[in-house]
């Protein structure tokens, strides 16, 4: 079957740049290099089901070779692919405690790359969709030398591009450079990402909510009221449907395409929730907002949050604008009422 417009990712990026006379072609080069790295990761992810043959468990395989865990593999693959092109002054990964410096023998560039090499990796062994998430900024530290933590700790609205790659029934590369959101599906036959989701717009409201209800008893009362509202809010005789994969990339991808809301709240045990501001929440919020959605921590836009540390966490409510506004309303109202927990 001939794809819609046979538009490959590199061509799409190039055509996107033509719309910006000030563009230098560097962002194209970065996104193309990234797409190469994730093609390799996609191949390894698809093999993950063969672990006990290939021994991709972190244990040594049948050849006695030391093999790496898949997310460590993905982490190292991304660094190897992205550290020598002369585009970045510094990088940071969810897998690494500190910032990642560009090796001295490589040229220092003006961009900053943050990434979660393999999100949802605890789902690998059970063959559930996982993904890679990336976020790109321009450096803010003066000079042309090595970048610093300051370049990494920028507010999300400073991103020049962001996206994710979902390794699911097919591998899909979704990105935004701030002018629309586009999805490309990898055609394994000839290894090219082809445009499959043109100018994605998230529906203003959806019929699906996504949250780990196992944490229900430590939730904020307003959130409990909101979930009760969804479960009793019948539409064509049906309440909102609950869907939760436990891989943010998979839950956000479904929410982006079908609408609805994904939530990872703060609660009485973890006031800041679980998800990382820099590697997960900022890039996903950039994507969802570019598609017409909304992303907050229950009160303020995720993209306006001032980061204090590389691995800080934040509560997140993200998805269709009407659904996110509604949960915020329920939480505000609950704050006015004194509940005895
Ligand atoms: P892992 O990478 O450890 O599997 O965590 C996945 C994740 O960061 C995100 O993808 C999920 O939305 C969230 O954590 C799932 O967390 P819970 O298991 O607490 O629901």
pLDDT (tens digit per residue) in 43-101: 999 887 776 655 666 666 555 655 567 889 999 999 999 999 999 999 999 999 999 99
Q: Is residue 18 packed enough to be buried (19+ CB in 10 Å), middle (13-18) or exposed (0-12)?
A: exposed
Query: How many angstroms does the Cα of residue 137 sit away from the middle of ligand 1?
Result: 25
Interval 103-119 mean pLDDT: 96
Estimate to the nearest angstrom the gap between the alpha carbon of 125 and the chain centroid: 21
Q: Which comes out higher in pLDDT, residue 131 or 122?
A: 131
DSSP E strands, 37-180: 88-93, 100-101, 111-119, 130-138, 161-167, 171-176
Shortest-distance Cα residue to atom 5 of ligand 1: 120
Regarding the beta carbon of 129 and ligand 1, being less than 6 Å apart is answered no
Pocket test for ligand 1, best of 69, 74, 263, 275 (most atoms within 8 A of CB): 275
Q: What does the alpha-carbon distance between residue 71 and residue 23 come to, in Å, rounded to a whole number? A: 33
Query: How many angstroms does the Cα of residue 275 sit away from the middle of ligand 1?
Result: 7
Query: How many angstroms does the Cα of residue 120 sit away from the middle of ligand 1?
Result: 5
| H or E, element range at 230 | helix 221-232
pLDDT digits (tens, 9 = 90+) for 189-242: 989 999 999 999 999 999 999 999 999 999 999 999 999 999 987 777 778 999
Q: What does the alpha-carbon distance between residue 262 and residue 155 come to, in Å, rounded to a whole number? A: 21
Q: Give the model's pLDDT for residue 41.
A: 96
Q: What does the alpha-carbon distance between residue 315 and residue 83 come to, in Å, rounded to a whole number? A: 31
- In the block, tokens 């395989």 appear at 61
Lowest mean per-residue pLDDT among 2-11, 60-69, 167-176, 302-311: 60-69
Q: At what angle do helices 221-232 and 321-336 cross, to 10 degrees?
A: 130
Q: Which residues pair with 222 in a beta bridge?
A: none
* Residue 112 scores a pLDDT above 50: yes
The gap between the terminal CA atoms of the chain, to the nearest Å, is: 58
Regarding the beta carbon of 272 and ligand 1, being less than 6 Å apart is answered no
Pocket test for ligand 1, best of 69, 270, 274, 278 (most atoms within 8 A of CB): 274
Query: How many angstroms does the Cα of residue 249 sit away from the middle of ligand 1?
Result: 10
Percent of the chain with pLDDT over 70: 92
Regarding the beta carbon of 265 and ligand 1, being less than 6 Å apart is answered no
Average pLDDT value over all residues in the chain: 91
Buried b (16+ CB within 10 A) or exposed e, 259-298: bbbbbbbbbeeeeebbbbbbbbbbbbbbbbbbbebbbbbb
Which atom of ligand 1 is the closest one to the Cα of 123? 4
């Amino acid at each position: 079957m001939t794809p819609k417009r046979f538009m490959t990712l590199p061509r799409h990026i190039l055509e996107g740049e033509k719309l910006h006379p000030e563009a230098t072609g560097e962002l194209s080069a970065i996104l193309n290099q990234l797409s190469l790295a994730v093609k390799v990761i996609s191949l390894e992810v698809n093999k993950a089901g063969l672990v006990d043959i290939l021994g991709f468990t972190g244990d040594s395989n049948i050849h006695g070779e030391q093999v790496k865990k898949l997310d460590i593999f993905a982490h190292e693959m991304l660094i190897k692919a992205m550290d020598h092109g002369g585009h970045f002054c510094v990088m940071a990964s969810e897998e690494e405690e500190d910032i990642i410096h560009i090796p001295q023998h490589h040229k220092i560039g003006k961009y900053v790359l943050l990434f979660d090499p393999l999100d949802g990796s605890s789902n690998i062994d059970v063959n559930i969709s996982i993904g890679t998430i990336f976020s790109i900024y321009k450096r803010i530290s003066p000079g042309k030398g090595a970048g610093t933590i300051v370049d990494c700790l920028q507010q999300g609205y400073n991103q020049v591009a962001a996206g994710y790659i979902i390794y699911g029934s097919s591998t899909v590369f979704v990105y935004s450079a701030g002018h629309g959101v586009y999805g490309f599906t990898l055609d394994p036959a000839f290894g090219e990402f082809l445009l499959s989701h043109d100018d994605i717009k998230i529906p203003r409201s959806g019929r699906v909510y996504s949250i780990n209800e196992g944490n229900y008893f430590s939730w904020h009362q307003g959130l409990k009221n909101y979930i009760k509202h969804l479960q009793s809010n019948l539409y064509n005789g049906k309440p909102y449907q609950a869907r939760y994969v436990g891989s943010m990339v998979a839950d956000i991808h479904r929410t982006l395409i079908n609408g609805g809301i994904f939530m990872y709240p703060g609660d009485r045990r973890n006031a800041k929730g679980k998800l990382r501001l820099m590697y997960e929440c900022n890039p996903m919020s950039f994507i969802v907002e570019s598609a017409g959605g909304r992303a907050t921590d229950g009160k303020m836009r995720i993209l306006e949050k001032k980061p204090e540390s590389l691995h800080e966490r934040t509560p997140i409510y993200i998805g269709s604008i009407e659904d996110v506004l509604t949960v915020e309303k329920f939480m505000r109202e609950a704050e006015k009422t004194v509940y005895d927990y």
